Every structure is written in C-alpha cells, then in structure tokens.
Amino acid sequence: MFKPQIKVPATYMRGGTSKGVFFNLTDLPKPTQVAGEARDNLLLRVIGSPDPYAKQTDGMGGATSSTSKTVILSKSEQTDHDVDYLFGQVAIDKPFVDWSGNCGNLTSAVGAFAISNGLVDKSRLPNNGVAIVRVWQANIKKSILVHVPMTNGEVQETGDFELDGVTFAAAEVKLEFIDPADGDGALFPTGNVVDDLKVPGVGTLKATMINAGIPTVFINAADIGYTGIELQDDINNDVAALEKLETIRAYGAVKMGLITNINEAQARQHTPKVAFVAAPLDYKASSGKIIEAANINLLVRAMSMGKLHHAMMGTAAVAIGTAAAIEGTLVNIAAGGGALIEVNFGHPSGTLKVGAEAKNINGDWQVIKASMSRSARVLMEGVVRVPY
C-alpha cells in the first residue's frame, strides 16, 4: 500500500536572479527538523531530484542551478540576530544536497520571509520605512544585514528597481555582507593575491583564489580562449569547455584547501565557484540589451553547478567586489587597477554594481563588508505536497 502525500507549509520565492522553496524550520516534519538524510531526502523530493531527464518536472525545481534551491529559516539562536538562514543547493541529476555555501541572491528574500512569518520581533519593524533584518547565515557562519522596505506594516515588494536578469521591476533590497571572508578570516587561502594554478591537460593558469561571499577561483578569460562576453549557449553547449572548466574548479578547490583530492569535487558542486574575467568590451546581453564598455569596469562570467550562470550569483558578486577592492588581484587588474571601492561589472544578462571595503592590516587583507542591491518577491505560498 502506498503512503499518501503529506502537506508541508512552504513559500515559493524569487530572490535576486534565483528562485527557491522557503520553509520555517518548525513547519517541517519532526525527523527533518535536524540535519541529516531524512531532511535531504525530503528536500530532494520537493525539488524533484534526482532527475535523469534533468528537467525536475515532478517537483518545484526549474532544472537550473538558479532554481534548484531550498531555504530553511528559524528564529536566531545567535545574539543580536533575528533569523538563522540555512541554504541547501539541490543537485538536479544526483541525490545530493550541498550545504557548503550560501546563496547571495536568495538572501534578499530571507528578510521578507522572516518578517512575514513572525521571525522578527515586531518592535524592530517600522510601520513605514526600512526594516533591517539581522541574518545569521548558518552555512558559512556569517552576519548579513537585509534592508527590507515596509509600507503600512507590511513588506513592500513592488517598486521600480530594475535588476538585470529579472524581467520585472520590484522594490530594492539592499544587502550588507559583514566580514564575508570564509572560515578563519583569511581572504586568500594560499596567502597570495595571484597564484600559478597547474591544471593537467589545460596548463598553468594565473588565478586569484579568494574566500569572500563564497570561495571563488578567478582566472583570465583570455588564458582559456575566451573574451569575457560569452553567453550561456557559448559555454553550456560545449561539452569539452564544461569539462575543462570543471577540471579547473577541481584543482582550484584542492589549491584552496577545500578538498584534498580532485575526486572529491563531485561531492562539493556548490563550492568553490570558478569565474573568468576580462577588461570591458561592448556586447549584447542575453535580453538583447547593448552593454557598452564605457559603462562598466570589467567583464565577469561565472560557473554554477557545472553550467555558465545566466547572470551572477550574489555570493560570487561579493567575491568580485572584494577582489576588485584589493590591488593586484586578477579582478582588480581587469577593472583597471588601483584603489576601487565599487565596480560595475558586465555579466550575461547585463550589469551589476557591487561595493566592498577592504583593509590591509599587518600584511593581511581583510574585508570589512561588501554590499549590493537585489530585489525579492513571494511567488506562491501555502503548502507543498510531498510523497514522504
């Protein structure tokens, strides 16, 4: 006899250029309120993975890295924080949920969900104005401030803020990532702003490997045969290119100390990211919009879960802003060099502006905070049905 489906309260939200299924921790079935196999299996089934057809037709996922995401929120157990934010990146064709990093885009929706679901003390919420939701990012153990616009005591989602990669305008949500360096605070795990990364079958590449927002390996576009204005079809339809970029990512992960052997990279798909940079060029974005070189500081293309991202991951944008602020990194050089506190970079869907404040203290670089603007919106709320 087959068990009936269960109903789990959930909210389907867009945050930045991503979408995900959001849960209040206390709404989950008891066995899944703690980390482990039961939780992973539930989230896999909600999203519709693993799917050998790579479509996620029988779930809430959208068959891309940007839409195969889950979020679990709860009242914060940390001092001076409102909400604990746990992010799960769900693999599409494998039975795997990666808890190793954050999703910067969905962070923009965390504040709204937390307010609407009573996770933020009402005394901290203005009737009109901007509520600052203090988020503890549980995956990477970092603080994020989410500035949520409020109107008549409710979250204001509509507005005129335009975000390339998102079709419709919405209310602007400002994000501040506090001390976003990963782990023990070492921005550069190798101690260098640029390293020689030896990749068998590819060669020795100049690379900036940084832990800010999300561990990221930056390489020069020209060194792997690109110009930096590539769109998704230029990369994602090229099996050899995808294999090469994944190999670079794997060897970068070893060099950064995230894994000990390249074979471990398959079980750590979410981190690190690999991105390639170049000086500005004119190009046509995926929407058809013309991006003029004169209006941007550099070009960046980033890989996410084995594919070229359609825009830019929010966490990778933090890495871009941070690396740009530190003289001598490949990102800084591509942006023209010098002291940069803000850059506007071109990605496949358009442009994005990100700022960072970095300081050199006794020879060690430290990033105080990074900031950017996104938007967020509830798409659907109620229950998700799951065979469980």
Catalytic positions, written as ranges: 103, 313
Distance of alpha carbon 373 from alpha carbon 25, whole angstroms: 27
- How many CA atoms, within 13 angstroms, populate the side-chain half-sphere of residue 213? 30
Spatial separation of the C-alpha atoms in residues 170 and 299, rounded to whole Å: 25
> What DSSP string runs through 203-262?
EEEEEEEEEESEEEEEEEGGGGT--S---HHHHHT-HHHHHHHHHHHHHHHHHTTS-SSG
Query: Which residue intervals of 227-382 are DSSP H helices?
Result: 232-236, 239-255, 314-324, 330-334
Diameter of the chain measured on Cα atoms: 68
Q: How far is CA 61 from the centre of its chain?
A: 16
Alpha helices (H) along the chain:
37-47, 104-116, 232-236, 239-255, 314-324, 330-334
Cα separation values, 273 from 131, 362, 368, 383, Å: 31, 28, 22, 33
Cβ neighbour number for residue 29 with a 10 Å cutoff: 13
The region, left, alpha or beta by phi > 0 then psi within -120 to 50, assigned to residue 119 is: alpha
